[in-house]
């Protein structure tokens, strides 16, 4: 087992819970989403009335000329509602570079990059869609995913999951977000929603009710009948990602501390499973290697798994590859750098944890 060291760290002022590298430039630029709960001074006020604030940090990783050391440079900060998730559109939309932000206010916000040379103006707000069925703004937006990871689209869809168990399907077009559908997917919090990148008519959702569900958008989901309703996980399902290199391969994770690998053509049982020793909050497949899977395991750090899967023979094997244990709090946000110099010492990874409010950069060797 490899245990890499931290190359650089950064301490945001608020608790850090999501991190995403930019897929469009070679600057090793990344975004950090943060969450801060401001408790009311009124002892009789409920926690629902507490204010949740957040901030987006735009950061660069910078190496010295000899490549022997690294530092993190903050370029921009944007004040927002508390943030649950940040995801880039990995293909440009109408030649624009877009990123979505899921907020505790219940809103989905879209930002775009600017052509300005000023790094302090790298991102600007483009549009926001509030959950119109939540008149009191008590529902939080927990996750988002874009439909265009494999195939570029001029009008991509975005799916979001909400804390009341509902899921929204939206379309982005002409700098606007339009809600196309909304349905009650889970009895408790819907922690995660994700597209099948090879068949974007299918949306997977996971909830605190320990259910993994699949919905076919060609069939009206408002009737509450998913095409899959799996109880294979034994606790809340909070992470899902379709493998964007290989069709029919899906990874899911749960508070039950297990990563499951599925063949989406036959989901009666998973191809393989691996216990992480901590709840699995985020899963990210490697940008180029279809077998490597980055895992944020909450109370047990961050890990890279080597997933050898043969969907045709319904066989898979999961082997732990790397563990990064420098974080001292809940491991939430993680991502692979999208730029890579083949001559360097390993692929750059960014991770962040919650209560200790820290971001680390390290390399997968």
Alpha helices in 62-220, H assignment, sequence order: none
Contact 306, 285 (CB under 8 A): no
**Which pTM value belongs to this model?**
0.95
As a whole number of angstroms, the distance between CA 80 and CA 88 comes to: 17
Give the up-direction half-sphere exposure of residue 260: CA atoms within 13 A in the CB hemisphere.
Answer: 24
Q: In the prediction, which pLDDT does 199 show? A: 98
As a whole number of angstroms, the distance between CA 356 and CA 14 comes to: 9
| Secondary structure class of 223 (helix, strand, coil) | helix
Across the strands, what pairs with 54? 80
What are the structure tokens assigned to 37, written together?
């709960």
Instruction: Identify which of 102, 97, 141 has the alpha carbon closest to the alpha carbon of residue 123.
Output: 97
Q: In the prediction, which pLDDT does 343 show? A: 62
Angle among Cα 171, 82, 40 to the nearest 5 degrees reads 135
User: Cβ atoms within 10 A of the Cβ of 244, count?
Assistant: 17
Q: What is the pLDDT along the chain (365 residues), one digit of tens a residue?
A: 788 999 999 999 999 999 999 999 867 899 999 999 997 666 555 556 679 999 999 999 987 665 567 999 999 999 999 999 999 999 999 999 999 999 999 999 999 999 777 788 999 999 999 976 665 668 999 999 999 999 999 999 999 999 999 999 999 999 999 999 999 999 999 999 999 999 999 999 999 999 999 999 999 999 889 999 999 999 999 999 999 999 999 999 999 999 999 999 999 999 999 999 999 999 999 999 999 999 999 999 999 999 998 877 788 999 999 999 999 999 999 999 998 776 667 899 999 999 999 999 999 98
State the DSSP code for 96. Answer: B
Order of strands, edge to edge, in the sheet holding 347-353?
Answer: 8-10, 358-364, 347-353, 331-336
Please report the sign of the dihedral spanned by the C-alpha atoms of residue 145, residue 151, residue 154, residue 157. Answer: negative
Q: In the prediction, which pLDDT does 115 show? A: 79
The bridge status of strand 166-173 relative to strand 157-162 is antiparallel
Please report the sign of the dihedral spanned by the C-alpha atoms of residue 218, residue 224, residue 227, residue 231. Answer: positive
């Amino acid at each position: 087992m490899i245990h890499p060291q931290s190359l650089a760290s950064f301490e945001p002022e608020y608790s850090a819970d999501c991190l995403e590298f930019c897929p469009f430039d070679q600057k090793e630029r990344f975004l950090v989403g943060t969450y801060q709960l401001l408790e009311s001074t009124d002892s009789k006020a409920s926690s629902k009335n507490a204010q949740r604030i957040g901030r987006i940090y735009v950061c660069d990783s910078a190496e010295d000329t000899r490549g022997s050391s690294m530092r993190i440079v903050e370029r921009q900060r944007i004040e927002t509602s508390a943030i649950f998730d940040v995801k880039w559109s990995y293909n440009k939309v109408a030649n624009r570079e877009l990123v979505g932000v899921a907020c505790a206010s219940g809103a989905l916000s879209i930002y775009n990059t600017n052509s300005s040379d000023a790094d302090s103006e790298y991102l600007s707000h483009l549009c926001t869609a509030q959950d119109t069925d939540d008149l009191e703004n008590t529902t939080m937006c927990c996750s988002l995913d874009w439909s265009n990871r494999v195939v570029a689209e001029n009008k991509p869809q975005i799916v979001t999951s909400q804390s009341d168990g509902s899921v929204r399907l939206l379309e982005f077009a002409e700098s606007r977000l339009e809600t196309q559908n909304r349905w009650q997917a889970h009895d408790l919090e819907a922690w995660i929603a994700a597209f099948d990148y090879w068949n974007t008519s299918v949306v997977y959702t996971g909830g605190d009710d320990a259910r993994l569900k699949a919905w076919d958008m060609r069939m009206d989901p408002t009737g509450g009948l998913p095409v899959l309703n799996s109880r294979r996980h034994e606790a809340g399902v909070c992470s899902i990602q379709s493998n964007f290199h290989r069709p029919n391969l899906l990874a899911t994770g749960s508070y039950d501390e297990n990563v499951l690998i599925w063949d989406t053509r036959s989901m009666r049982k998973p191809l393989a499973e691996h216990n992480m020793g901590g709840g699995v909050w985020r899963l990210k497949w490697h940008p180029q290697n279809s077998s490597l899977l980055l895992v944020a395991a909450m109370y047990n750090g961050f890990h890279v798994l080597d997933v050898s899967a043969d969907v045709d023979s319904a066989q898979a094997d999961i082997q732990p590859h790397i563990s990064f244990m420098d974080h001292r709090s809940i491991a939430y946000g993680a991502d692979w750098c999208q730029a890579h110099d083949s001559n360097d010492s390993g692929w750059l990874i960014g991770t962040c944890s919650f209560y200790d409010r820290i971001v680390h950069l390290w390399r997968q060797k």
